[in-house]
Amino acid sequence: MSSQTRPRWLVWLLATLAAFSPLSIDTYLPSLPDIARELSTQDAQVQLTIGVFLAGLCSGMLLYGPLSDRYGRRRLLLGSLVLYILASVGCIWVASVEQLIVLRFLQAVGGAGALVLARTVVRDLYPLSEAARVLSLMHVIAMVATLLAPIMGTYLVLLGGWRIIFVMLSLLGTSCLVAVAVALQESLPVEARTRSVLASFRHYGTVLRDPLALCYILAMGLSVGGMFAFITASPFLFIHHFGFSPRAFSLLFGLNIAGIILATVINARLVRRLGPLQMLGFGSLVAACAGALLIVIGFTGWGQPFSITGGVLLFMGISGMIGANCIASLMSLFPSNAGAAVGLGISLQFACGALFSWLVSVLADGTARPMCLVIGVAGLGSLACYRAIRYLLHKPRRASLYHALNGDER
């Protein structure tokens, strides 16, 4: 079956799998005070369940990629969904915060399989430019889930308490498990798999030794790092410093998500014609301009807070375009080890996000300057990565890949 005739439901299924992470985190956020109260524990202990979830997500991503290159995608995807469902069901019945911490870690390890393997299936089934388009559409759906998840979580808590959130996540996982079991065929033929598990994990070294791969991973990490810097600093900055109401801040946050969706839709429409490299170039240029603007605003105070809102909207909006084209291009570098490439790339992307979140917290001084500076560095760094990518692609051994990334793929 060619990529042109693949059913549309396949993209929706893969997008739902890729959205497990934001759904599992963001639907849960409104329930944190209720959980602390019911389990008779401190807020910090409940907040730890978020950090543990992110740790489980990163750990799981590092495991599933190489294992799927050896054993195939479908079997591991089914196993990860079973683990996700069992952990979600366990969360419904927890009696202490310690039990919740353990089960949230296991839930994240299960969800990591969906996050990584959905993307590797795309690489198996679609050529490069089409893969970038499909990844863009998946990102749009994940961003819609990010936008709606806190609202959904709030209403679920009002409807039946915080435990009903895990009932919903269990049902979502079960639905995806049935869909994968019934409708999704193995996408990685036996002859295309690595010879051993050890060889699969060794490919992490291959990826890390490739300067071009590192540039793609760093570009992804910088775009997510700037986003995490905004998520970390913006509630305190806009509500406490600028005096926004919680409702106004929610609208601002929603506006940024809408910007991401718009830019990603544009990428999905243009990438088949222009190629991932040109779209990445456009995205990194916009990110750099937004970053430079934010640095100037942060140090001069010009037009705050509305100038900051505009600069952040530009940066946040373009982040999805950068991520989709980087991940598609990264997988094209290692077609026989796409699982390892994606697992390492997304894991390091999350690590970069955590680093930038920590950095903006350390630099916090009650003004907009630290957030503007950190996002500005991320934007300018994205453009530097793109320039390095173009330089490395012009080397003779990368000639065929350069033409493919420019939309000349046949």
pLDDT in tens, 233-270: 777 788 778 887 767 777 787 788 788 888 888 888 88
User: What pLDDT is stored for residue 410 in this prediction?
Assistant: 40
Lowest mean pLDDT among 18-22, 308-312, 335-339: 335-339
The answer as to whether 200 is a domain residue is no
Beta-carbon contacts of residue 391 (< 8 Å; ≥ 6 apart): none
One domain, residues 54 and 175: yes
pLDDT confidence of residue 82? 97
In the chain, % helix, strand, coil (3-state, to 5) comes to 85, 0, 15
Q: Are residues 157 and 212 in the same domain?
A: no
Among 245, 259, 268, residue whose Cα is nearest residue 287: 259
Domain limits at 11? 3-193
pTM: 0.76
Number of H helices, E strands in the chain: 16, 0
Assigned domain for 234 exists: yes
Residue 29 shares a structural domain with residue 138: yes
* 34 CB burial (10 A radius; 0-12, 13-18, 19+): middle
Same domain for 222 and 168, yes or no, is: no
Torsion of Cα atoms, 353 then 277 then 295 then 228, to 10°: -20
CA distance 222 to 114: 23
Q: Note the pLDDT of residue 399.
A: 56
User: Which residues are within 8 A (CB) of 246 and not within 5 positions of it... i.e. 6 or more apart?
Assistant: 239
CATH of the domain at 96: 1.20.1250.20
Number of domains in the chain: 2
- Please give the Cα distance from 398 to 392 (Å, whole number): 8
Residue 235 lies in a domain: yes
Cβ atoms 385, 256 nearer than 8 A? no
Q: Are 118 and 14 in contact (CB under 8 A)?
A: yes
Q: Would you place residue 406 in the very low, low, confident or very high pLDDT band (cuts 50, 70, 90)?
A: low
Is residue 93 in some structural domain?
yes
pLDDT value at residue 105? 93
Same domain, yes or no, for 186 and 229?
Answer: no
394 and 254 in a single domain? The answer is yes
**In this structure, which long-range contacts are made by residues 235-244, counting pairs with CB atoms below 8 Å and at least 24 apart in sequence?**
236/364, 237/368, 237/371, 238/305, 241/366, 241/367, 241/368, 242/304, 242/305, 244/305
223 lies in the same domain as 263? yes
Q: Is residue 201 included in any domain, yes or no?
A: no
* Closest to 69 in 3D by CA, of 212, 184, 207, 217: 207
Q: What is the pLDDT of residues 355-381, one digit of tens each?
A: 887 888 788 888 889 999 999 999 999
* CB within 8 Å of 224: residues ≥ 6 apart: 319, 323, 349, 350, 352, 353, 356
Q: pLDDT tens across 164-176, in order?
A: 999 999 999 999 9
Provide the residue type at 25 as one letter: I
Write down which residue in 193, 216, 231 finishes a domain.
193
Average pLDDT over residues 200-206: 81
The verdict on 179 and 213 lying in the same domain is no
Domain contains 319: yes
Distances (CA, A) of 31 to 45, 61, 183, 253: 14, 26, 34, 19
* Inside any domain, residue 316: yes
- Same-domain check for residues 386 and 315: yes
Question: What does the mean pLDDT of the chain come to?
Answer: 84
Banded pLDDT at 219 (limits 50, 70, 90):
very high
Which of 138, 161, 193 terminates a domain? The answer is 193
Q: 199 in a domain, yes or no?
A: no
- Whether residue 158 sits in one domain with residue 221: no
Residues 217 and 169 in one domain: no
* 8-state DSSP, 240: I
User: Which residue, 110, 121, 118, 102, is CA-closest to 24?
Assistant: 110
292 token code pair: 């430079």
Residues 6 or more apart whose CB falls under 8 angstroms from that of 72 comprise 186, 187, 188, 190, 193
Query: What is the rounded distance in angstroms from the CA atom of residue 68 to the CA atom of residue 66?
Result: 5
Cα separation, 100 vs 55, whole angstroms:
14
Domain C-terminal end among 193, 225, 248: 193
pLDDT for residue 323: 85
265 and 293 co-located in one domain: yes
- As given in the structure block, the two tokens for residue 334 are 């290692």
SS (H, E, C) 100-154: HHHHHHHHHHHHHHHHHHHHHHHHHHCCHHHHHHHHHHHHHHHHHHHHHHHHHHH
